[in-house]
Amino acid sequence: MSQKEQQKKEKEFDFISEEVEEIYVDGVSNIILGIPVTKVLFHLLDQAATENKLEVRRGILNLTIPTITLIEFCANFLNGLVLNKDGVSSTLQQHNKKFMEIVDALEKSQKLAQQDQEQK
């Protein structure tokens, strides 16, 4: 869909945004795909997995959405990624660079602390 077609489509309705609730989720625990609706269970991560323990997830939202609406959402989302791939890629690279700087600094700090311990 071209940008012009998308703009035309966006003008097909009026939208009122009053006190829309925002809910943060860490991920999706379950999807039950059906017709005419799909159910998606979202969760927060209460505890990360360790060698001895399973990850602990807390369900916080069970979304029931018409399947065709979910398909349309997915298509629009992926289309947005394609249209903005350079910006998305650049942002991901910036985040990765910052992440690596932090991890490298932590590794260096840990090595210095370990060397300091060994000298004592």
Contact by Cβ (8 Å): 53, 47: yes
HSE-CB of 42 using CA atoms within 13 angstroms? 9
Q: Is 74's pLDDT higher than 60?
A: yes
Regarding beta strands 37-47 and 27-32, do their DSSP bridges make them parallel or antiparallel, or are they unpaired? antiparallel
Mean pLDDT calculated for residue range 72-101: 95
Does 78 share its domain with 92? no
Residue numbers of the domain that contains 13 = 1-83
How many residues would you count in the chain? 120
Mean pLDDT calculated for residue range 93-110: 94
pLDDT given for residue 4 in this prediction = 58
pLDDT given for residue 5 in this prediction = 62
pLDDT given for residue 91 in this prediction = 95
Rounded to two decimals, the pTM is 0.67
Q: How confident is the model at residue 19 (pLDDT cuts 50, 70, 90)?
A: confident
Does 30 share its domain with 11? yes
Q: What is the DSSP letter of 57?
A: E
Q: Is 94's pLDDT higher than 60?
A: yes
Domains of the chain: total: 2
pLDDT given for residue 2 in this prediction = 61
Does 34 share its domain with 75? yes
Does 37 share its domain with 57? yes
Does 58 share its domain with 105? no
Does 70 share its domain with 50? yes
Q: Is 98's pLDDT higher than 80?
A: yes
